[in-house]
Every structure is written in structure tokens, then in C-alpha cells.
Amino acid sequence: EVQLVQSGAEVKKPGESLTISCQGSGYSFTSYYITWVRQMPGKGLEWMGRIDPTDSHASYSPSFQGHVTISADKSINTAYLQWSSLKASDTAMYYCARRTAGVKSLDYWGQGTQVTVSS
């Protein structure tokens, strides 16, 4: 069974750093990209970026470039989303999802990680 399991909810202060994770199982981790999607409270889905776990090459939306870092460790089938300095506006639910190779749809999703940034 394909599964993406994300790390638990986080509460942080502005300016703090944070890394959340997404561990894949039940499939060949290096055969599919991992995409990160943001959902701010009461809002829609936003494509943040994606990573190829084979070589850790990441692509970002211009809206998120420079503010987050996407990485992966294929030895433990895990992708990461990292912030070096959080803002209150980073408060959101973050989802990882597996991207199919050919049609580029997101066929399996993690359960989501709630990040709350508040002073």
C-alpha cells in the first residue's frame, strides 16, 4: 500500500526555523517526484515546489522561491520542507504528494502537517 506519512503539527514563533518531513512507503521512492502544497486557513491549494528524490533536484514556484527549501534523503525515503525564518503568514496546512511520472498528477497525498507561527 502506497503511503505518505508526514510529521506532526508544529507551533513556532516568528523568526524560528523549522523542517517538516514526508516519508514514503509501499513504492519505489526514487521513481516519483514529491510535491509540496500549501493551504492557508480557509483558502485554496497552492503549488510550492517539487523534488526529484533521485538527484535531489528541486523546482520552486516563484511565490516560494527563496523562502523555503525542499530536500530529500532517498536512503530513508523522506522528503523535507524547510524554513530558516518563519513568518506569521507561514501559518498553514502543508501537504506532500506523489507526482506520477507521465501525466504529472498528484495521485497520493500525505495527511498534512499543520504549522502555526505566532508570537
Q: Check binding of 101 to other proteins (CB under 8 A).
A: no
Count residues near other proteins (CB under 8 A): 25
5, 76 contact by CB (below 8 A): no
Q: Which of 24, 49, 78, 92 binds other proteins (CB under 8 A)?
A: 49
Please say which residue, 9 or 16, places its beta carbon nearer to other proteins.
9
Could you give the C-alpha distances from 95 to 5, 68, 80, 81, 119, in angstroms and in order?
10, 14, 11, 10, 24
- Show contacts with other proteins in window 1-30 (CB under 8 A): none
Q: How far apart are CA 107 and CA 33, in angstroms?
A: 11
In the complex, what is the shortest distance from the CB of residue 9 to other proteins, in angstroms, rounded to a whole number?
A: 14
Q: Check binding of 63 to other proteins (CB under 8 A).
A: yes
Q: Check binding of 67 to other proteins (CB under 8 A).
A: no
Contact window for other proteins (CB under 8 A) among 9-17, 24-32, 42-50, 78-86? 42-50
The amino acid sitting at 81 is L
Which of 27, 26, 6 lies closest to 79, judged by CA? 6
In the complex, what is the shortest distance from the CB of residue 14 to other proteins, in angstroms, rounded to a whole number?
A: 26
DSSP character at residue 27: S
In the complex, what is the shortest distance from the CB of residue 6 to other proteins, in angstroms, rounded to a whole number?
A: 9
Q: How far apart are CA 49 and CA 34, in angstroms?
A: 9
Cell of 30: 526514487
